Structure 1
Amino acid sequence: MSNDTPDKPDEDEDWMKYANAGFGETDYSLWDDQPAEQDEAEEEPDFDLNSTPNQLGTHMEEIPRAPSPAGHKHLVRIGTCDHCLGRLGGKKRYEQTIAESGAEIRASVVQRDSHLENARTEIPLCPFCENLYEEADLLADIIHDAIQPYEATRLQLGARIPKDQIAAEEELRKRLGAGGSDALKSGLVTEIARNLNDRLDGKKLVNDKPQILALIDVLTLTVELDIRAHYLYGRYQKLERGIPQTRWPCRACKGRGCEKCEGTGLQYKKSVQDLIGNPLLGLFEAKEHAFHGMGREDIDVRCLGQGRPFVIEMKEPKIRTVDLDAAMKSINELAEGSIKITGLRSSNRSEVVRVKDTPAEKSYTIRFRVMPLSEAEHAVLTAPVDLTHVDVQDRG
């Protein structure tokens, strides 16, 4: 082949002209067979443009505690009743009721934010008390009617509220209420006491040592009365043998009543406890009595001297003011010489402890009579005794 002859192109294509060291510059894409992904639109907060201002306020502003204006506003917004507004708002003045204070707080909030005027109507259930304060007048009426049959000078109120309700209210009160706000139970009892105070007729509301405890059940809206006992102190002399100090249940029937005890359930028909307590039941209109003595004596002996101290407990009495001198005289007459009591006076529970814990010192007087011996008895005692050899050894 001469040099003048032009080069004949190769029959095969020159692959070099397609070669390229750069990545991704070819027209062929490795991902052409994959479906194209579409960019997802970013989700934006779904705000209701028609939402009311109080809904926006709940989400957008930090909620401080009362007594700040914003705290009062939130209390009104969530449907708090006037009583709880006054209880938690921290604005109550001296001699002002919590309902009056709550009404003032609500009026102040509505004056600034008129859209909250109907908040209580829109949310009719108070989140703090669940509308218990609306029943305060009713509960005061129930207590007033329940205590009418009983004579008492000291009355205490209490409330029984479910634990979960107390815990929920306490958590909400500590988060939203003013510091030092009354708890639900104490606030409710105080409100009932305020409604009841003007109608007590000589009864005084106290926090300790009551004669009547009125316990309110908020679930059933009922009142349970705990009538405390009335105590009397005195001394008794037992002048007749065969009388026990307290009731002695029948050994055969264990107090249930049988033919042997003639249906009384008692081993002995009389006891010091019944001789003193039974006449007092009618005077005090009590249901039962209990006897507490300073020690006790045997059944077959008498108790003389100054008498044994005792305290008798009259349970659930309706009357507490009794002429004790007349009562003591009546007891002694009805006993017909079996016992005699002296120094009867009113007492208290602490004296029961003192009487029971005091060691009872007692002395016995033994009396005996020497009778002259008859001739036959004297002869037996003075007759010579024949001793055998065995008898002497045994004695030795």
Structure 2
Amino acid sequence: MIDATHDAARRSCVASANGHPDFPLQNLPLGIFAPQGEAKRPGTAIGDSVLDLAGAVAAGLLTGAAAEAVAACRDGTLNALLGAGAAPRQALRAQLSALLAEGADAEAALGPLLHEADRCKLHLPARIGDYTDFYAGIQHATNVGALFRPDNPLLPNYKHVPIGYHGRASSIVPSGTALRRPNGQRKPAAETEPSFGPSRNLDYELELAIWIGPGNALGEPIGIGQAAGHIAGYGLLNDWSARDIQGWEYQPLGPFLAKNFGSTISPWIITPEALAPFRVPQPARPAGDPAPMAYLWDEDDQENGALALELEVWLMTPGLAKAGLPAHRLSLGDARGLYWTPAQMVAHHACGGCNLQPGDLLGSGTISIPGGDGSLLEISQGGRKPLELPSGETRRFLEDGDEVTLRARAVREGFASIGFGDCTGRILPAP
């Protein structure tokens, strides 16, 4: 629901928040941070600062359901808050919007509770029990399928069922964490025998992260009409992919070592409430596509279940840095490139009785649109057409020292734009 917290004219007593590209007063994302030398705790990003939510509770600046929700996060994760559902989250948003507004009575008391974001360490916002990666970006699925099956890029099940697989949660890391290039078995078509060594075709994947809030009991499905209520927020996900390792290992059971060496997420959870003004209809299916089955169809979800987000991917290489050149934008996309809505992903995930839990993470699948590819595999057409950079370097796939940054921004006329914060990772040499 759109309310006073979304008012574009509303200004913050934190000066850097006014006009901030990601974290104006209208956003108020949730995360876990630690000031230098101190323990980690729940916080919210406001401009160039982070507000200590636990400190605000201790100072009596947050009360009632909002204070109880924050206090439940004393273990240094947001799982309890995510699992509490919409009501405490909405109460917290309303109180924070008033507390941080320009001219608020408590402005003087906020000083000790505001920390410079650049001097804080951002942690994973929740303890991730399980991670599931979907494949809902239809343009990406078509582009990749065409590289291997030009006459039949999409398999017969794609438009009937949200495709997904279970990944490894222990190697999901927050933005800013460097990852080592993985070793594994590789067997390109030109080689007669497989070999072991560092991935030669390392890639990024531009995805949305979908955070699960309240869960469901084992054996009890989540109806499509209730599925959106089980989503506690969104972020960005770079599901790094070792294409050559995957090409050798994935049949018949799917990705394994090609994915489990690491995935990078943005550290702030952008709440459904912050994104309310940016809900848009799910793009209509092309004529002739099968209608979703009843358990995946809800009129309100079709009318409001997609997100209007501009998505960007930026690459910084050692050569660009040495030449004093800025990062190179690889693509500009749109989150409406998803064939299935987040609610459809949740409903499908639980339709067989799988018990989702607070803090579980879903990946949307790589999001591409025409002219806005979400991976180097697509940009370089499988490595056959290397990308030329302003530094004179070329890239088929990622090289050691390359740094990839994902960004997302929600824009709608009449409302303050909000962003997700950076999702950045750098590739180190293989061990």
TM-score after normalising by structure 1: 0.22
Higher strand share: 2
Which structure is richer in relative contact order (CA contacts within 8 A, separation 6 or more)?
Answer: 2
Q: Which has the larger Rg? A: 1
TM-score after normalising by structure 2: 0.21
